[in-house]
A = this chain, B = another copy of it.
Amino acid sequence: MSECGLKHLDGREYYCAMELTLQIIGGKWKPLIIHHLGQQGTLRFNELRRTMPTITQKMLTQQLRELETDGIVHREVYPQVPPKVEYSLTALGRTVTPVISRLCEWGSMYEAERLAEKQNEAAQHSADKKSAA
């Protein structure tokens, strides 16, 4: 599972499978891109962009290219004017989506947990006030 001798794949170096995973889907935007493509199926460039309001054109292009060379994303170009390019997950890419979904769910859980903590603190404070008064 985590025996860690130096390994190679496609010019990458890594000590355990986790590092390999990170090199492929560990980019700042990649999990997000995969998540949205997994949910929506197929999206055009600008559709995808709108789902991530703060990403720049450049970053989106770049990250998509990397995902493409790693066999995660499929890029379909329609030779027409104006241009139309559709992005979707490959079969290999679809194998990541369950894990990505888990990450997303964990985020929701974390959010709820943190909010609950805050409310407990607030309740504690008002209780303190009462007992002080």
Contact = CB atoms under 8 A, between A and B. Distances in A.
Contacts of A10: 114
A18 B31 contact: yes
Interface stretch (A58-66, A76-84, A91-99, A123-131): A91-99
Interface of A: 1-2, 4, 7, 9-10, 15-22, 24-26, 28, 31-32, 35-36, 39, 51-54, 71, 92, 95-96, 98-100, 102-111, 113-115
Given A22-B28, A26-B28, A52-B15, A99 B110 contact: no
How many monomers of this protein are in the complex?
A: 2
A95 B104 contact: no
A123 B82 CA distance: 42
B9 A104 contact: no
A18 B92 contact: no
Contact of A17 (B15, B108, B115): B108
A121 B69 CA distance: 16
Contact of A2 (B39, B53, B96, B115): B39
Given A18-B35, A20-B111, A22-B28, A2 B95 contact: no
